[in-house]
Amino acid sequence: MYSIKRVSEMLNIPAVTIRAWESRYNIINPTRTEGGHRLYSEEEVAIIKWLKEQTEDNNMKISEAVRMLESMKPFKDKKVESSPSNEKLVVSNNYNNNIEQLYSNIIDLNNHQANETMDIAFSMYHYEDVFHKILAPTLHLIGDNWEKGNISVAQEHFGSQIILQRFNQFYRTLPVNPLAPKGLSICPEGEEHHIGLMLFSLFLRKKGSDVIYLGPNTLLENIPEIIKEKDIKIIAISSSSPKNIAKLEKWLGLLKEKFPRLKIVVGGRGFANSRESFSFHVLSSEVTSWEKWYENNISK
């Protein structure tokens, strides 16, 4: 248990701020000593730490961070490991355990336990780490085993849907900056794999962009009309198959001619051998490359 003074020192948050969050949003309920002094559990310290990260690192209002917390309930009845010797929060970075547990829950078609496993992950790590290092690898594992015939179509669909639900949950809670460029995210017709597209869309949404997410199997013929009507400034396209990439690259060239100021980014295994041109940028799956592209093309 930690005093409010100790929590303030550990997290570099003024005690008055902690009291304000506690009284205004009822997100934590510290116990009291006989003298009336607050004592915070490890879980409560983890909640405060998470809220601080959202307000400082993700530029969220505290009310928005609280709504996100309540929508996913990541900390309810969960344990966060700590080191009593130095009173600092210590969290394991063994993502493989989380991946294996979630995969097992999905294969068992256990909706309740799968959501519990994701809730625990979100209570332990930053949400971007959960999506990139746990949920995405789990989906890849599911996809690989489905292609090998090791799991059924029902299991593959169940896993995809339960993770997509969590993506949508976070996507809705992230605030939109009306001044940020609008985005459009698609996978071309016949393309069903869209985890990378989901992650990049979440990245743009974190930057404040309102992104229209059309997802997999999108007909390209309607895209120019959408770009024009919705004043789209960024379009992201993902493809895992190289089969129709040459045709797709030609279409992107025509799209760029029609909308010269449009920023086009592509990704996925299908574009592995593609070279950047005046029409589009090829991005890897690394967030660092996304940040670099955004800084060079959008922030300027």
Instruction: Please determine, for residue 88, whether its predicted confidence score (pLDDT) is greater than 70.
Output: no
Q: How does strand 82-83 pair with strand 31-32? A: unpaired
pLDDT given for residue 147 in this prediction = 86
- Residue 77 confidence class, pLDDT cut points 50, 70, 90: very low
pLDDT given for residue 79 in this prediction = 41
Residue-wise DSSP of the chain? -EEHHHHHHHHT--HHHHHHHHHHH-----EE-TT--EEE-HHHHHHHHHHHHHHHHS---HHHHHHHHHHH-TTTT----EETTTTEE-----HHHHHHHHHHHHHTT-HHHHHHHHHHHHHHS-HHHHIIIIIHHHHHHHHHHHHTTSS-HHHHHHHHHHHHHHHHHHHHHS---TTSPPEEEEEETT----HHHHHHHHHHHHTT--EEEEEEEE-GGGHHHHHHHHT--EEEEE-S-STTHHHHHHHHHHHHHHSTT-EEEEESGGGTT----SS-EE--S-HHHHHHHHIIIII-
**Range 2-13 average pLDDT:** 85
pLDDT given for residue 187 in this prediction = 93
**Range 105-130 average pLDDT:** 87
Lowest mean pLDDT among 74-83, 160-169, 263-272: 74-83
Q: What is the mean pLDDT of the chain?
A: 84
**Rounded distance, CA 221 to CA 219, Å?**
6
**Rounded distance, CA 214 to CA 221, Å?**
13
**Rounded distance, CA 79 to CA 293, Å?**
38
pLDDT given for residue 85 in this prediction = 32
pLDDT digits (tens, 9 = 90+) for 44-68: 888 888 888 888 877 778 888 887 7
- Residue 84 confidence class, pLDDT cut points 50, 70, 90: very low
Give the domains, in start order, of the chain with CATH numbers.
2-72 (1.10.1660.10), 84-171 (1.10.1240.10), 176-299 (3.40.50.280)
pLDDT digits (tens, 9 = 90+) for 210-259: 999 998 999 999 999 999 999 999 999 999 888 888 889 899 999 999 99
Instruction: Please determine, for residue 81, whether its predicted confidence score (pLDDT) is greater than 60.
Output: no
Instruction: Please determine, for residue 3, whether its predicted confidence score (pLDDT) is greater than 90.
Output: no
pLDDT given for residue 234 in this prediction = 96
**Range 183-198 average pLDDT:** 90
pLDDT given for residue 135 in this prediction = 94
- Residue 188 confidence class, pLDDT cut points 50, 70, 90: very high
Percent of the chain with pLDDT over 70: 91
- Residue 300 confidence class, pLDDT cut points 50, 70, 90: low
**Range 142-158 average pLDDT:** 92
**Range 16-25 average pLDDT:** 84
pLDDT given for residue 183 in this prediction = 96
Residue type, 34: E
